[in-house]
Structure 1
Amino acid sequence: MKSDIQIANEAKIQPITDIGSKLGIDSKDLELYGNYKAKVPLNYIDPEKVKKNNLILVSAISPTPAGEGKTTISIGLSQGLNHIGADSSVVLREPSLGPVFGIKGGATGGGMSQVLPMEDINLHFTGDFAAIEKAHNLLAAMIDNAVQHRTLNIDPRTVLWKRVMDMNDRSLRNSIVGLGGRTSGFPRETGFDITAASEIMAILCLAEDFKDLKERIGNIFIGYTFDKKPVYARDLKAHGAMAALLRDAIKPNLVQTLENTPAFIHGGPFANIAQGTNSVIATKMGMSLSDYVVTEAGFGFDLGAEKFFDIKCQSSGLSPKAVVLVATARALKYHGGADLDKVNEPNMEALKAGISNLEKHLENIQAFNVCAVVAINKFATDTDEELEYIKKRTEDRGIKAVVADVWGQGGKGAEDLATEVKAVVDQCENKFKPMYDWEWDIPKKIETVAKNIYGAAAIDYTSRAKADLKKIKELGLDNLPVCIAKTQKSLSDNPKLIGRPKDFVVTVREIELSSGAGFVVPITGKIMRMPGLPKAPSAEKIDVDDDGNISGLF
């Protein structure tokens, strides 16, 4: 069997100017990064076309170590729509180097449903993450500089802004800066987050244009003065320079799939610690240039998709015509108690026990009043009995389930799925409604998501979380939406509770304020904003030969 990288290398990749031409983009307007990558200027966004577009959101059941293939399905579905004559493009997030070198590996799809050039996309791409990292760390430097020179009277004990780096490095989670004497600053405890968790990343992905970007950056909360007055990035006059660093990063990146379907890849916030969706700008760009746009939200529906609806859609005025929920027989067996090394073996008992996870996510989709299709991502080890059981249990809820083999067959393996999705988009009457009103108080918003989406019985707050609630209310920012940080491995805040747990209590440890992004972040469970590498990281398998050919990415 050929590897993903062999398949990618054998693909007939087209010059990016040809891909742009398919979308009606003048080659002179493309900002080229070599022959196969380009940035597209923001003036190609057409608000009227965005209103008429057919936006399709791809989400998934609760992720498992067995893998569900959400990105692969997203790419394959877009290719499949083009196969059946529906003009389609796909809009995805950029991979972070942390997972690429860590445990997850690359994020460009797989098999016959990949985006190209996969090595470039997984490694640095067009430098967006680097620009976000630099903008974030510029603010950190300016904060410490203001403390050093005693401008603005900032109390360094109240500064929570950390630095960021796009790498999994647990040793940087907690650190002390300012050591080295009087000329090196005031010593204080701080640390690093991964770049995907940066508020600048969240801001870039929610900004509508340059003006909105700069305004949001200026709204970043820094801390307090010694006389208890709030300090924002605009008070340091940092927002102009930070926005300047993001001048090119704000523009979406255009690439292509193995079948030369246009693909926009832009932004990369994680869904367990941020909003987990690509940029509003990239989504609207795709919607301006194609009739059917496939996009995805990170991890399971309880994380990325909930935030897609309650934060991204509410902020930008978007409204998907359908949700495609990805499931696999292997993952459902894992949720039903099967050991990871045995999920490829037939096990109807485990499948029947694990189907409840799929059913809960379908209930959640219906709670938003959006029409759904289930995509069963086919693996060679699946039995007909298992696939028929998943289809029947899904269709008992009035939702069609379609088997797709996008890894092995690309767009051809998604033709049936594309036909069903197009029918739902064209015929189903959506009456999308968010889960909560932004004007509700924060505890009510958290409770609504935790009880309705996760299935929690109650919410508990630590003393620190209660103090955070008080601070946010005093700042007049309690009308912001909630971007709940939670494990992706479970519907609950306990990663060990797989399947469909019930009667659990969600504990909110603390609540971070992301006033620039325009949301608050209630943190539940043991969520790490700077992940660590596993014992045997993926980096050990990645190499480059004497001719510059990269191997080991997957």
Structure 2
Amino acid sequence: MSDIEIARSATSQPIAEIAAKLHIPDAALIPYGRTKAKICPDHIASLKDKPDGKLILVTAITPTPAGEGKTTTSVGLTDGLNRIGKNALVCLREPSLGPCFGMKGGAAGGGYAQVVPMEDINLHFTGDFHAIGAAHNLLSALIDNHIHWGNSLEIDARRIVWKRVADMNDRALRSINCGLGGPGNGFPREDGYDITVASEVMAIFCLATDLDDLKERLNKIVVAYTRDHRPIHASEILGTGAMSVLLKDALAPNLVQTLENNPAIIHGGPFANIAHGCNSVIATKAGLKMADYVVTEAGFGADLGAEKFFDIKCRAAGLHPDAAVIVATTRALKMHGGVSKDDLDKEDLSALEEGCCNLVRHIENVKAFGVPVVVGINRFTSDTDAEIALIKKIALANGVKAIDCTHWADGGAGTEELAEEVVALVDSGHANFAPLYPDDMPIWDKVKTVATRLYRADDIIADQKIRDQIQKLQDSGYGHFPVCIAKTQYSFSTDPTLKGAPSNHVVAIREVRLSAGAGFIVVVCGDIMTMPGLPRVPAANHIDINENGEVVGLF
């Protein structure tokens, strides 16, 4: 059966019954139908004195077209933990409409390790992304309106850095001319669109601890510069109060369930390249107060997702992860060993062994943060016992266990062994988490630390203009910010064709962007797309509603 058929055949419990498992009273639920609800912020605030549960990060090897399955494993592990008698929930990001209608697909898991209602989650859900897009575009409109009505702030229209956003892959909007058609339409200028998940409002939304923190962060957004390069902040445009009003309801985390009726909190979803790629701090911290084990994930491979989870989210929120799971598949590791996508179903131990250098690199990197590691092998039906045994042998030679997982086919029953190992790692008390670099390290050195220690680059380079920008940010009081490195997700290097575990390369910094409200500095290395396009045959071509009113073609 397809994912959507499996999800539709499941028996979901009323959301109040799921909430009861977390001791959330009915009065603290804001229902969105029968099977989803928001959790009242007042209830979350009332839990502040409760002890935290244990935090488990699910990350992965470097992505390939063969697929890895982080979300599926996160859901499966949560079900497995509950099957062995633990009180566990999963915290995930909300899917974006762009990938859903494009090529990547949804983000609700797969097979028998899904969160439901998967159609709602993958589509409009509770409207959070619409609220974020509206708040972002309100600020955009206010900027142009300010210029139209006299421009008392002396904004240089050539130096407006705040684009507009849309939650859809639309390459035609990357670069546009706006304000055309006469004086009544404003001043003509160049502009562009990013996808909503790349918005700084999204990053702020996911790093804010409450409404007051959200408003303070929104005020700090730098939207433009004057002719003499003075930054213009969102607070000066006088719209952050209205933006907060649009975001107020969205700020409450969303509660749903897995196919096995275990709690799932799904909230926020920043781009894993241009931002930090994790679900909201509010959701994660709430989960830690309500469950003994919280499973969460970070975007892309561990060099991007886990690094930003550790260095940005955990640093900002004071989180201390207790264990990490690195998801790997034999298919993806064989691609890293040079096998073409068409030949992945054939056993190839030589290529698999060569491709495992990528897994070993990620193991070493996660250990560098002081977090205990286990490898979860997301098993496919074409995998052979010899291939699984080889991955286990290589993992063990690098000091970690690799567990064969069949959650896609078997749900939580297929991850019980992984769940037992995660509990053992957590109970061992070996976690000694620390970010990769201190706050007071200079910006340039922070980038170099990540590039040399995690990517195994020899050095970083940038032209003088970029170096001057970095120094100006340092001198302007932003030197304590963590860095958010935006590079290809398909390689440790900035060249997406370099598979495996490349070393001795050089990371070239192409652009630097300040996210003053989010509290980090984006360092763009290589070609990064903040408004993707649709593929030749987008998934949208196959999505429809049948005669029974059911969505079809959605995975």
The 2-side partners of 1:400 and 1:227 are apart by 57
Structure 1 residue aligned with 2:396: 395
Q: Deviations over 1:196-228 (max 9, x none)?
A: 000000000000000000000000012222343
Q: What RMSD, in angstroms, separates the aligned Cα atoms of the two structures?
A: 1.1
Q: How does 1:301-380 map to 2 (within 5 A)?
A: 301-380=302-381
Q: Deviations over 1:64-100 (max 9, x none)?
A: 1000011000000000000000100000000000110
Question: 1:466: how far off?
Answer: 2.5
> Does the Cα contact within 8 Å between 1:147 and 1:155 map onto a contact in 2?
no
Structure 2 residue aligned with 1:79: 79
What amino acid is the match of 1:7? I
Q: Deviations over 1:278-300 (max 9, x none)?
A: 00000011111111110000110
Q: How does 1:22-33 map to 2 (within 5 A)?
A: 22-33=21-32
Q: Secondary structure at the match of 1:320?
A: coil
Structure 1 residue aligned with 2:537: 536
The 2-side partners of 1:176 and 1:348 are apart by 54
> Does the Cα contact within 8 Å between 2:448 and 2:459 map onto a contact in 1?
yes
The 2-side partners of 1:188 and 1:528 are apart by 22
Q: How does 1:4-403 map to 2 (within 5 A)?
A: 4-45=3-44, 46-49=47-50, 51-149=51-149, 150-403=151-404
Question: 1:474: how far off?
Answer: 4.2
> Does the Cα contact within 8 Å between 2:138 and 2:243 map onto a contact in 1?
yes
> Does the Cα contact within 8 Å between 2:28 and 2:43 map onto a contact in 1?
no
Q: How does 1:446-525 map to 2 (within 5 A)?
A: 446-525=447-526
TM-score by length of 1: 0.98
> Does the Cα contact within 8 Å between 1:332 and 1:355 map onto a contact in 2?
yes
Q: Secondary structure at the match of 2:486?
A: coil
The 1-side partners of 2:514 and 2:393 are apart by 44
> Does the Cα contact within 8 Å between 2:52 and 2:289 map onto a contact in 1?
no
Q: Secondary structure at the match of 1:484?
A: strand
Q: Secondary structure at the match of 2:303?
A: helix
Q: Deviations over 1:390-423 (max 9, x none)?
A: 0011011121111110000000011111011111
Question: 1:475: how far off?
Answer: 2.8
Question: 1:60: how far off?
Answer: 0.2
> Does the Cα contact within 8 Å between 1:464 and 1:510 map onto a contact in 2?
no
The 2-side partners of 1:401 and 1:193 are apart by 39
> Does the Cα contact within 8 Å between 2:442 and 2:479 map onto a contact in 1?
yes
What amino acid is the match of 2:68? E
> Does the Cα contact within 8 Å between 1:162 and 1:192 map onto a contact in 2?
yes
Q: Deviations over 1:265-285 (max 9, x none)?
A: 000112122100000000011
Question: 1:47: how far off?
Answer: 3.2
> Does the Cα contact within 8 Å between 1:44 and 1:285 map onto a contact in 2?
no
The 1-side partners of 2:379 and 2:190 are apart by 49
What amino acid is the match of 1:529? T
Question: 1:308: how far off?
Answer: 0.4
The 2-side partners of 1:188 and 1:470 are apart by 29
> Does the Cα contact within 8 Å between 1:468 and 1:510 map onto a contact in 2?
no
Q: Secondary structure at the match of 2:300?
A: coil
Q: Secondary structure at the match of 1:475?
A: helix
The 1-side partners of 2:254 and 2:469 are apart by 37
The 2-side partners of 1:229 and 1:392 are apart by 58
The 2-side partners of 1:99 and 1:215 are apart by 31
Question: 1:48: how far off?
Answer: 3.6
What amino acid is the match of 1:32? P
Structure 1 residue aligned with 2:426: 425
Note closer, same or farther for the CA distance 1:7–1:451 as it changes in structure 2 (3 Å cut).
Answer: same
Q: Secondary structure at the match of 2:513?
A: strand
Q: Deviations over 1:78-131 (max 9, x none)?
A: 000000001000000000001101111111001110000000000110000000
Q: Secondary structure at the match of 2:484?
A: coil
Q: Secondary structure at the match of 1:276?
A: coil
- 147-156 vs 320-329, which moves further: 147-156
What amino acid is the match of 1:110? G
> Does the Cα contact within 8 Å between 1:468 and 1:512 map onto a contact in 2?
no
Note closer, same or farther for the CA distance 1:36–1:198 as it changes in structure 2 (3 Å cut).
Answer: same
> Does the Cα contact within 8 Å between 2:220 and 2:517 map onto a contact in 1?
yes
- 35-44 vs 78-87, which moves further: 35-44
- 462-471 vs 27-36, which moves further: 462-471
What amino acid is the match of 1:442? I
The 1-side partners of 2:357 and 2:347 are apart by 18
Question: 1:501: how far off?
Answer: 0.7
What amino acid is the match of 1:91? C
Q: Deviations over 1:327-346 (max 9, x none)?
A: 01111000000001111110
Question: 1:434: how far off?
Answer: 0.6
Question: 1:30: how far off?
Answer: 0.6
Aligned residues: 552
Q: Secondary structure at the match of 1:156?
A: strand
The 2-side partners of 1:423 and 1:396 are apart by 19
Q: Deviations over 1:210-267 (max 9, x none)?
A: 0000000000012222343221001111111111100111110000000001000000
The 2-side partners of 1:168 and 1:374 are apart by 33
The 2-side partners of 1:183 and 1:470 are apart by 41
The 2-side partners of 1:44 and 1:317 are apart by 21
- 420-429 vs 198-207, which moves further: 420-429
Q: Secondary structure at the match of 1:394?
A: helix
> Does the Cα contact within 8 Å between 2:136 and 2:201 map onto a contact in 1?
yes
Q: Deviations over 1:340-359 (max 9, x none)?
A: 11111100111011000000
> Does the Cα contact within 8 Å between 1:371 and 1:428 map onto a contact in 2?
no
The 2-side partners of 1:482 and 1:443 are apart by 9
Q: Secondary structure at the match of 1:547?
A: coil
Q: Deviations over 1:299-328 (max 9, x none)?
A: 100011100000100100001100000001
Question: 1:180: how far off?
Answer: 1.3
Structure 1 residue aligned with 2:417: 416
Question: 1:185: how far off?
Answer: 1.1
